[in-house]
Amino acid sequence: MSQANTDAGGTPLSDQIKRVLLEARIVLPGVQALLGFQLIIVYMDAFDRLAGLLKYAHLAGLACIGLSMVWLMTPAAYHRLVEHGEDSERFLRLSGRLLMLAMALLALVTAIDFWVVVEKVSHARSWGLVSAGAALVVFYGLWFGYTWYRRRQMEPAAASQQG
């Protein structure tokens, strides 16, 4: 695909791809750090004292963060191996979807970790689950709900400017 390809707003495809890859590179270090903490905690004595359900919750969180990291790193391999380093709309769509999926899992694992910590501190499963649910609502609400809402608000304005 050529550099001249642009979206409806006039942004060249190559710039759009640079942006989505930059966004993935911004999220990736946080995911990697969280994965490191997730892996290290199982070697601490306090982990052995957690309730069985919390250990499995931690394991689920570990799986989610690992998958999130894979989804963030996949576009680079795909771009090199499938697209031979060339820019394409297909690559842009795939990269954007994988980034969103990775962020959805990042929110989920953060909520799971929040549940484990709040339950450990409060000794109350209900507080842990309510706190985790609230954290998930905040993450999904800001990352996906609010952004979807703003996008829907802006679409009519963009359509009227084009027409």
pLDDT digits (tens, 9 = 90+) for 106-144: 999 999 999 999 999 999 999 999 999 999 999 999 999
How many whole angstroms from its chain centre is CA 24?
9
Q: pTM of the full predicted structure?
A: 0.82
pLDDT digits (tens, 9 = 90+) for 28-87: 999 999 999 999 999 999 899 999 999 999 999 999 999 999 999 999 999 999 999 899
- Mapped onto helix, strand or coil, the DSSP state of residue 142 is helix
